[in-house]
Amino acid sequence: MYRYIISRILLVFPTLAGAATLVFVLMRLVPGDICLVRLGEGGSSFTTQALALCHAEIGIDRPWIVQYLKFLWDLARLDFGISMWSGKPVILEIATRFPISLEVAVMATIIAVAIAIPLGTISALRQNSWIDLVVRTFSIAGLATPAFWLGIVSILVVLDLTQAISGHPWMPPIDYVPLWQDPIRNLSIVMLPALTIGYRYAAVSMRMTRSAMLEVLREDYIRTARAKGLINRIVINRHALKNALLPVVTVIGIEFAFLIGGLVVTEQVFNLNGIGRLMVLSVQNQDYTLTQALVMLTVTIAVLSNLVVDLLYAWLDPRIRLA
């Protein structure tokens, strides 16, 4: 098993290198480049000299292989370079926007877990009752709604409701303040997006909790505990929930990595200055260094999550553990 663990961990590096290569090549296959966007976006004309000057300034006139090797070398030293669009270090660009994305993601997870585990459990305990049906409908509806549509509708509902009630339409502020600076304002900005993402996230987790609980509840040792006369509540808390939680936690862990991707659409809708919006922007601007860094960030989070899950399962599955 230790061989497995070590080889699994070592494989992270070629995986990341593969992802780096993929993003490098993909970005350069797209026609055009950041200089065209920068010079041509305003609709004005530009001369070939201007374009050449821009290329030289940014460094995209060098041969691909040179750029690629520099990219890998810098990556190994954790030097993420300068954003081609703004000329500022990539780390700075990302660091400025990371807090808000993280906050939304964490809040969405909290909301999701707070909804999913109790509701999923109740749903499993009262399988096929009307509660079960309502919860299941609620969760399937959550999976069926396009995330951006939900966001748009929620903003409009809030605007219309506040206008109807107080005469003044209300919308969350569009400029971000950190939590410690002004908690009320910060929460008012983050609440709607967190609920929008959290709803879908809860839907997935709820279904998983329900099916995991159902499986566990049928296990013999639960029947035994019940037969022994243990009160239902103790049975559930002590035995069933604990064992059901393992796959649930796994799913939550994996979904968290995909949450970052889901932020892309949500941050557009709510105009949040986060990582998702930065990614859309860097891709539209064809800002190679920034896009590469963002992709590596996302991929690393996902790869590490998968690593943790795989190791967890290796530990649990005796076939692998004893190999």
Partner 1 sequence: MATLEPTPTDLPALADDIGLAPRGIFAASWTFLQRQPVGAIGLVLVLIFGLAGIFADWIAPYSPTANDFAVMTEPPSWAHWLGTDQLGRDLLSRILFGARTAFIVGLTSALVGGVSGLLIGVASAYFGGQLDLWLQRLLDIVMAFPLIIMALAVVSIFGTGIQNVIVAITIPLIPRCARVVRSSALAIREVPYVDAARALGFGHTRIIMRHMVPNVMGPFLVIITAFVGQAILAEAALSYLGLGVQEPVPAWGLMLQGGAEEYATTAPWIAVFPGLAIMLTVFGINLFGDSLRDVLDPKMRDR
Partner 2 sequence: MASGTRLCAACLAAALVLAAPAFAETPKRGGTLTYVIPADAPPSFDGHREGTFAMLHATAPFYSVLIRINPENPSSTTDFVCDLCTVMPQPTDEDTTYAFKIRDGVKFHDGSPLTASDVAASWNEIIHPPEGVLSLRRSWYTMVDTVAAPDPKTVVFHLKFATNAFLPALADPFTFIYQKAKLDEDPHWYEKNILGSGPFKFVSYETGQSITGARNPDYYHPGLPYLDGFIGLFAPKQATRIDAIRSDRAAMEFRGLPPSARDELKSALGDQLTIAESDWNCGSVVYFNHKVKPFDDARVRRALSLAIDRWHGAQALSKIANVRTVGGIVFPGSPLAATKPELEQTAGYWPDIEKSRAEAKRLLKEAGAEGLSFELLTRGVDQPYKTVGIWLVDEWSKIGLKVTQKVVPTGPFIEAQRSGNYQVFSGANCHGVVNPLLDVQTYLPGSYYSGNYEFFEDPHEVALYEKTLRETDPARERILMREFEKYVLDDQAHAMYLMWWYRIIPYRSYVKGFKISPSHYINQDLATLWLDR
Residues of this chain that bind partner 2 (CB under 8 A): 30-34, 36-48, 50, 53-54, 57, 85-88, 93, 96-97, 152, 155, 159, 163, 168-171, 173-176, 268-271, 273, 277-278, 281, 284-286
Phi, psi of 82, rounded to the nearest 5 degrees: -110, 140
Of 80-88, 104-112, 176-184, 245-253, the segment contacting partner 1 by CB under 8 A is: 245-253
**Cβ nearer to partner 2, comparing 281 with 312:** 281
Burial letters 170-196, b for 16+ CB under 10 A, else e: eebeeebeeeeeeeebbeebbbbbbbb
Instruction: Work out whether 29 is an interface residue with partner 1 (CB under 8 A).
Output: yes
Give the nearest distance from C-beta 32 to partner 2 in angstroms.
Answer: 3
Taking alpha carbons only, the member of 164, 172, 170 closest to residue 194 is 172
Pick between residue 211 and residue 268 the one whose CB is nearest to partner 2.
Answer: 268
For 249, half-sphere exposure in the C-beta direction (CA atoms, 13 angstrom radius) is 10
16-22 contact pairs (CB < 8 A, 24+): 16/296, 16/299, 16/300, 16/303, 17/72, 19/295, 19/296, 19/299, 19/303, 20/71, 20/72, 20/75, 20/292, 20/296, 21/68
Q: Roughly what angle, to the nearest 10 degrees, separates helices 288-316 and 242-270?
A: 170
Provide the token pair at 121: 């459990």
Q: How far is it, in rounded angstroms, from Cα 138 to Cα 210?
A: 13
Residue 214 binding partner 1, by CB under 8 A: yes
User: Total residues contacting partner 1 (rule CB under 8 A)?
Assistant: 60
> How far does CA 295 lie from the centroid of its chain?
12
Query: Which residue number, 187 or 214, has a Cβ lying nearer to partner 1?
Result: 214
Answer yes or no whether residue 267 interacts with partner 1 by CB under 8 A.
Answer: no
Using rule CB under 8 A, residue 221 touches partner 1: no
Segment near partner 1 (CB under 8 A), from 33-41, 96-104, 183-191, 253-261?
Answer: 253-261
Q: Tell me how long the chain is.
A: 323
Q: Which stretch binds partner 1 (CB under 8 A): 39-47, 84-92, 152-160, 229-237?
A: 152-160
| Residue with smaller CB distance to partner 2, 192 or 259 | 192
- Is 316 near partner 1 (CB under 8 A)? no
- Min dist CB 102 to partner 2, Å, is 16
The whole-angstrom distance between residue 278's C-alpha and the CA centroid of its chain comes to 14
Question: Which span sits near partner 1 by CB under 8 A: 62-70, 80-88, 116-124, 262-270?
Answer: 262-270
Q: Which entry of partner 1, partner 2, none binds 217, CB below 5 to 8 A by partner kind?
A: none
Q: Is 258 in the site for partner 1 (CB under 8 A)?
A: yes
Token pair of 300, please?
A: 């690393």
Whole-number CA gyration radius for the chain:
24
Instruction: Choose among partner 1, partner 2, none what residue 96 binds, the Cβ cut-off being 5 to 8 Å by kind.
Output: partner 2
Residue 298, number of CB atoms within 10 A of its CB: 20
Token pair, residue 36, equals 């065209």
Which residues are at the interface with partner 1 (CB under 8 A)?
Answer: 7, 11, 14-15, 18-19, 22-23, 26-27, 29-32, 133, 136, 140-141, 143-149, 152, 156, 160, 204, 207-208, 211, 214-215, 218, 247, 250-251, 254-255, 257-258, 261, 264-265, 268, 279-280, 283-284, 291, 294-295, 298-299, 301-303, 306, 319
